[in-house]
Chains A and B, each alone.
Chain A
Amino acid sequence: MKGNLFALARYTLLRAVMLGFAVVVALYLVVLIVNMGGHLDKVRRGEIRQAVAAAVTMIPENQLLPPSELNQMIERQTELQYRYYGLDQPFIWRSFRYLITALSLSLGRSENLTSDSGSRQVRNIILERLPSTLVLFGTSSLILFFTSLFAALALSRRYGSWADRLVVALAPTSSAPGWFYGIFLILIFAAVLRVLPWGGMVEAPPPKTTLGYALSLVRHMILPVAAMAAGGLLASIYARRTFFLIFSSEDYVDLAKAKGLSSRAIERRYILRPTLPTIITQFMFLIIGMWQGAVILEQVFVWPGIGSLTISAVNLSDTPMILGVNVIYAYLLALSLFILEFVYAIIDPRVRVGAGPQRRL
């Protein structure tokens, strides 16, 4: 017992250290990639100098100053801007500061982006967009997940039926992304039929009552959710249905059938149970995947989520902002993987810590 506990503790610690190390390395790579290994500093310096010179020379009074004085003014302003962006310090030093700020979850201040309500704290910027991302992607992901799960189970029971053949035939349509369907859905339901809104979160101006706001929100979610479903549902059903079919043809399932167990009992005990680790893993990834939103879909539907925020941050090379989004994803991913290790052990009797005696067998 004591030995088992020690093995468990050692394993837990080792996994935590490994995952932590992976997070640090991944985030530092993000810092390096976003900053082009430090080359971005050179680009930024050029842009700042250009912008400052243009702004200073545009002032009519300045055009009458002697060139040396004008240059002095430009230099001074440029230096101020360099300081503002931290360009007065070496990139290597800044890169570690970025990393520590992100890892500590203080997240710091953005370099360019401002939250919708005017804050420059990365935390505020993310928190402001999080609810709209969660409400759209949470809803659509959960609908997509459970619909595909139960539909796949049902199809695996009716292998070869017309419904099964239809799903198999239509599954390739999911190869197009959700935003692609989104454009068509907008054209059909907003532009031509005029029954659903073009995009945005709510009508303008937004309804004043909570109920009115919620109803308007639901109405605005119909098309993006439908687009995501069109882009993923059939392929997801097809993949899961195949997955369940593989497990349905195992010997122990045939044995259970021969013993005369009901199909529901077979499904629950002999098909679902061994597939549970995979399903839970997929579910966990789905949950943390919600965090990132969907970049293009949000643009198409003018949905103010984390995805469009990320793309703005990337366009502006706003390192603290990009790290802010990524560090939370990285922590969530690491935590999920960590938790899954234990979940597997609980739900799957084949998984054991150490596995020494099994090796001897």
Chain B
Amino acid sequence: MKKLLVGALLVTMAFAGLARQGAWVDEVVITLEPTAGAAVLKLEAGDLDIYAWSSSDRALFAKVAANPDLKAYTSFGSFNDLTMNHSGDKPFFTDGRLNPFGVPAIREAMHWLIDREYIANEIMGGLATPKYSYINSAFPDAKRYPKIVEEIEDYYAYDFAKGERIITAEMTKLGATKVGGKWTYQGKPIELRFLIRNEDERLLIGNYISDQLEKVGFTVIRQYGRSGELSPLWIQSNPLEGQWHLYTGGWVTTAVARDQGTGFNQFYTTRVLPWPLFQTLATATTDPTLDEVCDKLARRDFNSMDEREVLFEQALWLSNKYANIIWLVDRQGFTPVRANTAVAADLAAGVYGSQIWGHTVQFQKDGKPVVGGTMKIGAAGLLTEPWNPIAGSNWVFDMFPIRATGENSYITDTETGLLWPLYFEKATIEVLKGLPVGSNPGHDWCTLKFVDEIKVPADAWVDWDAAAQKFITVGEKHPGGLTAKRKSVVYYPASLYDVPLHDGTKITLADFILGIILSFDRGKPESAIYDEAAVSSLKSFLASFRGVKIVSEKPLVIETYSDVYTLDAELAVSTWWPYYAQGPGFWHTLALGIQAEANKELAFSKDKSALLKVEWMDFTKGPSLPILLKYLDEGIATGYVPYAPTMRKYVTEDQAKAKYTALKAWYEKMGHLWVASGPFYLDQVFPVEKIVVLKRFEQYPFALDKWQFLVK
């Protein structure tokens, strides 16, 4: 009997677990812990379960590795380089001093002079991988072209003697002589001013490279400093003036880059970065082929992936030969967690940058997820700046909890960077024949078609009349018709409008429409919420945007036309889900902010708040709330709908009042106005104490284990 009861209980629990939706844990408590060392102590003591920040402290990594109660997720988001002052490929500065790095062959010789294995293993303590070219060893292009990567690694492997031989030959050609083992020119020692960043391991890297240069006879002046101290020299000064010779560079990427081909243009040509160092590059004259392939890769001017491979191979070899920048290591960060926890960590951005950490964070027993519990997470920063979805805080510390409360209509694969549909069912991508676009196996939700021409329908919306608050159609703006290079058709399910929001209301078509309006409105001078800071992004958007059309309202089907395409068809879907740059936003919450900004009481963006001398809008706390609440009460009374000439078609007065009433009830219960649809809702915010409490959203519509395949 007892066994039967226990069995029944277990079966019930199993079903309860299966029926459960959304998050694995019941509650997440995020607290501030600025130092990784203290965080590891807390993890060891069980006072933290996860430390959501990436560290590169090798001693700490060893400590975590040695403790069976702890484990770590590694990520590959940053990389280091040696930037050289090429002085426009002229071997002399304007004052007549000799600049060895004005000679491409000497720059190339630096490849052989630097032992990248030493940097990766000794300086970085194994938390790095030697990097011999621009390609990131963990990203898709490295897997696409392993043979090229291997050949480059072999060719540029550490060979001090070879490097020294080339430098000696080139220096002699320039008229330099060695006196007492030191290179001199016209009787004076050749001094190299090396700008060495001192905030991290770049200090050791800079010292190591300085030592190597001194071994070949250069006199090195080491100038240490932080970013702000050194940037006026290497970024702003004219390279020909010769204020510096070398700089320990570092770059970061916060997502898996599926197409690194576009990056060559940035580092090896004058076309992207506006700083004198890049504007004076002589690639176009010294190596026109490199200049050409960089441009072609950036514009995706190739007809097939085979053609791309040829261009990519050329770009890799030629850029290494031109060598105004040489790459040193791909760095690894690690996120320490307790061994009984698991989460889908992003390959590039670790746990703190994972878009689905909230969906997947879990306790485990014997390698299997268990349901329930409170997850205690430490964060290196928290509640840094105001939360508002339009132009609120962009800090990773703020986006970390925000991502658990809201989500886009798709999930970004933490390993591949590809998309998986969440709220929509399928998508079709049409691109012009000849464009190098492909689809990936296993992503059947996306159908790729090649067509001869893509005509944009005359009734598609292509712009916005901010004064009349109405969309401008393609027929109105382009009477002669308009074509596009890419068309995306996204199909939402019929059950879309049952998607629950945290405040008890449901998503509506108006949420999508407001999103489309706000893509234009803030950048238009006639708008009540015009923001100068939004003009550039609108300009960029309009440069390639060709139109959007709601083909069907229920089920919702949206067609989007654009001239922008990606190598992967899956990345080209335009869903218009109401998830903005800084988080989720639904029309009835944003309406409050729109009124507050229109009446110059608050502003969405930091820049505009400074201009108006008002507070930066925050939906979670602080002086913004009373102002937003004032408009909430007005909304309950009047049924206000923003951009009424357009939005009234999608929201009635009664529907608006009902939405506002639900929002008021939400505020009274929670004390904030942050409403989203993600697996957690924002339960409590303690700004001074720096504590955020998230609770599982029980009505979240997706199964517990939906993204379990991404949990490593």
Contacts and interface: CB of A to CB of B under 8 A. Distances in A.
Interface of A: 42-47, 49-50, 53, 56-57, 59-65, 67, 70-71, 73-77, 80-81, 84, 109, 114-121, 124, 128-129, 132, 186-187, 190-191, 194, 198-202, 204-206, 299, 302, 304
Closest 5 CB pairs of A and B: A117-B622, A118-B622, A116-B687, A118-B618, A118-B386
Q: How large is the interface on B (under 10, 10 to 19, 20 to 34, 35 or more residues)?
A: 35 or more
A119 B566 CA distance: 40
B467 interface: no
B623 A119 contact: yes
B236 A118 contact: no
B228 A63 contact: no
Contacts of B624: 118
Contacts of A64: 298-299, 543-544, 563-564
Nearest to A116: B687
Nearest to B543: A61
Contact of B232 (A46, A53, A120, A124): A46
Nearest to B269: A67
Contacts of A198: 38, 41-42, 47
Interface in B601-626: 606-607, 609-611, 613, 615-616, 618, 620-624
A47 B543 contact: no
B271 A46 contact: no
A45 B233 CA distance: 12
Interface stretch (B25-33, B409-417, B427-435): B25-33
Interface string B507-543: 0000000000000000000000000110111011101
B384 interface: yes
B532 A46 contact: no
Contacts of B45: 190-191, 194
B469 interface: no
A164 B682 CA distance: 57
Given A47-B231, A115-B622, A80 B532 contact: yes
A50 B235 contact: yes
Contacts of B689: 200-202, 204, 206, 304
B229 A43 contact: yes
A204 B688 CA distance: 12
B272 A191 contact: no
A53 B278 CA distance: 12
Nearest to B545: A61
A37 to B, nearest CB: 15
Contacts of A45: 232, 236
B42 A205 contact: no
A84 to B, nearest CB: 5
Contact of A118 (B299, B611, B621): B621
B445 interface: no
Contacts, number: 165
A49 B615 contact: no
Contact of B621 (A117, A129, A204): A117
Contact of B275 (A50, A61, A118): A50
Given A42-B232, A43-B231, A47-B228, 5 more contacts: A57-B266, A65-B540, A119-B622, A200-B31, A205-B684
A46 B228 contact: yes
Contacts of B687: 115-118, 128
B691 A119 contact: no
Contacts of A84: 606-607, 610-611
A176 to B, nearest CB: 19
A118 B262 CA distance: 38
Given A46-B228, A57-B266, A62-B540, A124 B623 contact: yes
Contact of B623 (A47, A56, A61, A117): A117
B540 A118 contact: no
Nearest to B232: A46
Contacts of A191: 41, 44-45
B273 interface: yes
Contact of B228 (A43, A53, A60, A199): A43
Nearest to B609: A120
A43 B233 CA distance: 9
B274 A53 contact: yes
B364 interface: no
A80 B607 contact: yes
Interface in B377-409: 383-387
A57 B232 contact: no
Nearest to A59: B540
B155 interface: no
Contacts of B229: 43
A260 to B, nearest CB: 58
B34 interface: yes
A229 to B, nearest CB: 22
B227 interface: yes
Nearest to B30: A204
A120 B606 CA distance: 9
A214 B33 CA distance: 22
10 contacts: A43-B229, A44-B228, A50-B231, A63-B298, A80-B532, A114-B616, A128-B688, A198-B38, A205-B29, A299-B34
Residue among A50, A186, A202 with most chain B CB within 10 A: A50
A201 B686 CA distance: 11
A70 B537 CA distance: 11
A80 B690 contact: no
A201 B688 contact: yes
Residue among A47, A80, A204 with most chain B CB within 10 A: A204
B32 A200 contact: yes
B417 to A, nearest CB: 14
B31 A114 contact: no
A5 B45 CA distance: 68
B384 A60 contact: no
B693 interface: yes
B270 interface: yes
Nearest to B236: A46
B385 A304 contact: no
B270 A114 contact: no
Nearest to A205: B693
Contact of B615 (A56, A57, A61, A120): A120
A60 B564 contact: yes
B265 interface: yes
Nearest to B395: A114
Contact of A77 (B232, B271, B536): B536
B274 A49 contact: yes
Contacts of B270: 67
Nearest to B227: A47
A63 B269 CA distance: 12
A115 to B, nearest CB: 7
Residue among A74, A116, A129 with most chain B CB within 10 A: A116
A80 B684 CA distance: 36
Interface string B44-66: 11010000000000000000000
Given A49-B275, A114-B385, A201-B688, A302 B34 contact: yes
B181 to A, nearest CB: 37
Nearest to B376: A204
A231 to B, nearest CB: 19
A46 B235 contact: yes
Given A46-B236, A304-B689, A61 B231 contact: no
B254 to A, nearest CB: 10
Nearest to A202: B689
Residue among B384, B620, B691 with most chain A CB within 10 A: B691
Nearest to A70: B272
A128 B383 CA distance: 14
A114 B386 contact: yes
Given A63-B265, A117-B623, A206-B691, A76 B271 contact: no
B274 A71 contact: yes
